Amino acid sequence: MFEYNPKYIRNFSIIAHIDHGKSTLADRLLEATQTVQKRDMQEQLLDDMDLERERGITIKAHPVTMVYKAKDGHLYQINFIDTPGHVDFSYEVSRSLAACEGAVLIVDASQGVQAQTLANVFLAIDHNLEILPVLNKVDLPQADPDEVKRQIEEVIGLDVSQTVICSAKTGKGVDQVLETLLTLVPPPQINEDGYLRALVFDSHFDPYRGVMVYVRVISGSLKKGTQIVMMATKKKFELLEVGIFSPQEKPTDELRAGEVGYIVGSIKNSKDVKIGDTITLSKKTVPEPLKGFKEVNPVVYAGIYPIDTTDFEGLRDALEKLQLNDSAIYVEQESSQALGFGFRCGFLGLLHLEIVSERILREYDIDIIITAPSVVYRLTLKDGSIRDLDNPVHYPDPTLIEDIQEPWVECRIMTPSDYMGAIMGLANEKRGDLIKTESINEFRLFLTYKFPLNEVITDFNDKLKSATKGYASFDYEFSDYQKSDIVKLEIRVNEEPVDAFSSLVHRTKAEARGRVVCAKLKEVIPKQLFKVPIQAAIGGKIVARETISALSKNVTAKCYGGDISRKRKLWEKQKKGKKRMKEFGKVSIPQSAFMEVLKS
């Protein structure tokens, strides 16, 4: 049993690119410290969501407390925080790293340094963490540890003298990882000024106990009955339970300075808990909160509608429940003439949107339709006011707009040098600016680009993988807002605008986008008894048009022989009827047509 002594506590996190063996090494560490018995062991133990297992990615941070008897004879308490690797969750990763003193950097010995490896390492360096490089998958025949060590030294600039070579799959070198960690990572620094400071680095909703908050205690201690206050939301709670993860929740008497665990305090609303917030005593509030807290704002917006209108209430419940576990989702009810009632939702990125939609389908069995994702544009109006716009429906009259700014991101791409030409072609198509090119070795390049965010969130990743046969990896982070020529592309069917197909696009892309949508609609809208024009318009200017021809009836079929004027009379009568029908006729667009166009 571990006797509390800050000198023998170590807090660390694992950072790695997707599929470099982070979850597998975590499994081996749990086995080596006997935190989990062999009979209870399963692959990716800390990834408890089906989606995490299938895709091989970590979506939620999972802390775990391990007790390990080192070779020096002392018992150590090792707190390990498993973090997501994807760029969409970089704020969560930064908060998890703020709760640690060290980080294990895993690099695949057969693939070398990748884009996300770099992004997460820079986050760890910003937090002044001790970084232990670990070369994983050395059991593979194509592994080249010496070359990868050179890359870590040259590309990242880390000292590789303490590098541990291991294979998480076979268990080789895992003990060495633990021993090196204990010597390299310093114990937590304890502030003895009598104030309670605890960092919130994650939370999840438990249907029976409310919000369970994951904390790292910086100074002071937390125990059952303590009256606490959340500094960002000013909400006060009484603690009903404190404990550690081992890896399941395990209640303890007290969480002391330097320790990582959870607290439960009848917190009913997940909005009362903000990631990165500081917890302190309600009677003795700390003068200033811990650094680094910020509100997480959605980056990508999309409309989510039920395919069957009777599922609307079910969809509302599903989104409310998902919001309890993931406070980063923004939800607002909206309605569309074409799609009926639905919700406008904000996400941290495209992967976040994909995961939420997949969970709605699996966990709540609701078929949904998602409108094309859009980003937040910043409008400066003629009267000097500034507005954020995420929905084309709310686009104001163009004569009132002074200028429009769109978000840009800095994008890091790692690629074999053979594909440089293909990537430059893709970057030109996506309005990218090349900032710099660096060589990692004679076969690989590290490119830094700037892209408009709306070009990256649609199909950039798919096209990059296609252009480089799956070898390139990329990662991006928000850079700034820049002035841009953004216009509203409106799609009209039989002179009536259809909101669901409207979008905000760059003027140079508007015509091509309009042609694609018009051509697709011509395929999927059924023929009427009159001609139906489908137009793409920017303001009053039509930039693309298709016409669905009318279903025609041969009115002169009964005429045989006789004078031509008899046929002409029937044609004139038919023409007048068609004209009247076009004036009063309505074109109803079937649901399947929306599905087809939004897929394209």
pLDDT tens-digit map of 215-255: 889 888 888 888 888 888 888 888 898 988 887 888 888 88
Task: Write out pLDDT tens, residues 421-480.
Answer: 999 999 998 989 999 988 877 778 889 999 998 888 777 877 888 888 777 877 788 888
Which one-letter DSSP state was computed for residue 273? -
The yes-or-no verdict on residue 417 having pLDDT over 80 is yes
H helix intervals, 16-173: 22-32, 50-55, 90-98, 115-126, 145-151
Going by DSSP bridges, is the β-strand pair 401-416/444-452 parallel, antiparallel, or unpaired?
Answer: antiparallel
Which runs of E-coded beta strand occur in 525-570? 532-538, 541-548
pTM of the model: 0.74
Structure confidence at residue 545 as a pLDDT band (50, 70, 90): very high
Task: Write out pLDDT tens, residues 291-325.
Answer: 877 777 788 888 888 888 888 899 998 888 887 77
Backbone angles phi, psi at 15, to 5 degrees: -120, 140
Structure confidence at residue 581 as a pLDDT band (50, 70, 90): low
The yes-or-no verdict on residue 536 having pLDDT over 90 is yes
Q: What contacts 237, CB < 8 A, 6 or more positions away?
A: 227, 228, 229, 230, 265, 266, 267
Q: What contacts 454, CB < 8 A, 6 or more positions away?
A: 374, 375, 406, 407, 504, 505, 506
Q: How many CA atoms lie within 13 A of 63 on its CB side?
A: 33
Average confidence (pLDDT) over 261-268? 86
